[in-house]
């Protein structure tokens, strides 16, 4: 026969209860009426408390013994985390993986050369070369007190107008005459991870920083055959073909007009911009030579000029 919830009944001699057995789950409410405790329950609860304390002391003793184990050692407040045994095991495990942590970061320096024999080619027969108007570039003064026109697309009679959407004529500030001026860009890919033996042998190496103080270039053929006004060298992500594209970094001006090797200094800001391309050596990038072509009146120029990268010493740390 059951009992009302307000008057719990507990018979003498029920099985021993665990600690706080009568209150497990919720607190005793006054409206629930009388609360009859089993005879001897306080004694049994005290015994349970003493047993729990003994078990806790036993566990803490084991923990202290473990913490004193010389194979585990101490590590400040977090004792037992890293000791001589575990440190030796960690080093051995990393070395077994074929990649030493200590060899990757902050442990030394490395120098290597850029891949050589990379040539830039400027060709008047290429589609990137702008053709001259059928009647040629008009020989007209377009600037200064003697200027006949200020718009080279509208030369004075009897010369015919020029479609400057097809032939980008402009007034050359160098001498004040009309000219066909445009930029001709040529890109070569640089794959350090494949073409540099020291890096190819250790593709897991992590370079912290890398600089390229100088580059040596040579005009290898067709010197002076094309009207090249200036040339600039850029670095850009793989696949980039234009020096004006997003991500292209200016490196240096490249000298023209001589078939002798010329050393080009790479400025500090340019080296900062180039460093990510060099340190991420497993990702190819491109060098772009952007030449400024200025065609004046007369016969349309024809020919090919090639400019080669002969040497570039990279200084890196890892």
> Residues 252, 232: contact at Cβ < 8 Å?
yes
The DSSP output letter for 136 is -
CATH topology of domain 108-132+181-317: Jelly Rolls (2.60.120)
Quote the pLDDT of residue 67: 40
Quote the pLDDT of residue 15: 53
- CA dist 308 and 220 (Å) reads 7
Q: How confident is the prediction along the chain (318 residues), in pLDDT tens digits per residue?
A: 444 444 444 445 555 555 444 444 455 555 555 444 444 444 444 444 444 445 554 544 544 443 444 333 333 333 444 444 444 444 444 444 443 332 344 457 888 888 877 899 999 999 999 999 988 999 999 999 999 999 999 999 889 999 988 999 999 999 999 999 999 999 999 999 999 998 888 888 788 889 999 999 999 888 888 999 999 999 999 999 999 999 999 999 999 877 888 899 999 999 999 999 999 999 999 999 999 999 999 889 999 999 998 889 999 988
Which residues neighbour 134 within 8 Å (Cβ) at sequence distance 6 or greater?
none
Quote the pLDDT of residue 38: 47
User: Which residues, in sequence order, are bridge partners of residue 293?
Assistant: 182, 228
- CA dist 50 and 178 (Å) reads 106
Task: Give domain limits for the chain.
Answer: 1-21+32-64, 68-98, 108-132+181-317
Backbone angles phi, psi at 191, to 5 degrees: -120, 90
Quote the pLDDT of residue 30: 52
Question: Would you put residue 265 in left (φ > 0), alpha (ψ -120 to 50) or beta?
Answer: beta
Quote the pLDDT of residue 260: 81
- CA dist 316 and 210 (Å) reads 4
- CA dist 255 and 261 (Å) reads 10
Which residues neighbour 199 within 8 Å (Cβ) at sequence distance 6 or greater?
112, 192, 193, 205, 281
The CA-atom distances, in angstroms, between 232 and each of 5, 129, 150, 227, 288 are 94, 17, 29, 15, 8
User: pTM surpassing 0.85?
Assistant: no
Quote the pLDDT of residue 129: 96
- CA dist 22 and 32 (Å) reads 13
**Cα 6 → chain centroid:** 73
């Amino acid at each position: 026969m059951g009992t009302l919830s307000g008057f719990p009944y507990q018979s003498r001699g029920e099985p021993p209860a665990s600690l706080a057995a009568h209150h497990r789950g919720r607190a005793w409410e006054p409206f629930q009426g009388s609360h009859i405790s089993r005879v001897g329950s306080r004694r049994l609860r005290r015994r349970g408390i003493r047993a729990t304390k003994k078990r806790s002391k036993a566990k803490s003793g084991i923990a202290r013994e473990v913490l004193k184990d010389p194979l585990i050692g101490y590590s400040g407040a977090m004792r037992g985390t890293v000791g001589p045994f575990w440190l030796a095991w960690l080093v051995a495990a990393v070395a077994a993986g074929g990649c030493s942590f200590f060899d990757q970061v902050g442990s030394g320096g490395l120098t290597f050369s850029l891949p050589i024999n990379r040539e830039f080619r400027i060709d008047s027969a290429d589609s990137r070369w702008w053709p001259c108007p059928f009647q040629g570039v008009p020989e007209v003064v377009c600037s200064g007190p003697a200027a006949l026109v200020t718009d080279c697309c509208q030369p004075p009679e009897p010369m015919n107008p020029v479609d400057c959407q097809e032939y980008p004529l402009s007034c050359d500030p160098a001498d004040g005459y009309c000219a066909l001026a445009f930029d001709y860009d040529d890109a070569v890919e640089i794959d350090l991870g494949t073409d540099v033996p020291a890096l190819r042998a250790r593709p897991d190496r992590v370079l912290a920083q890398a600089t390229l103080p100088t580059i040596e270039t040579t005009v290898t053929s067709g010197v002076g055959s094309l009207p090249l006004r200036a040339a600039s060298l850029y670095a850009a992500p793989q696949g980039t073909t234009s020096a004006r594209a997003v991500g292209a970094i200016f490196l240096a001006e490249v000298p023209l007009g001589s078939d002798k090797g010329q050393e080009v200094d790479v400025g500090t800001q340019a080296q900062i911009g180039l460093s990510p391309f060099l340190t991420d050596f497993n990702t190819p990038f491109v060098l772009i030579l952007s030449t400024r072509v200025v065609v004046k009146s007369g016969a349309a120029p024809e020919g090919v000029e090639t400019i080669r990268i002969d040497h570039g010493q990279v200084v890196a740390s890892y």
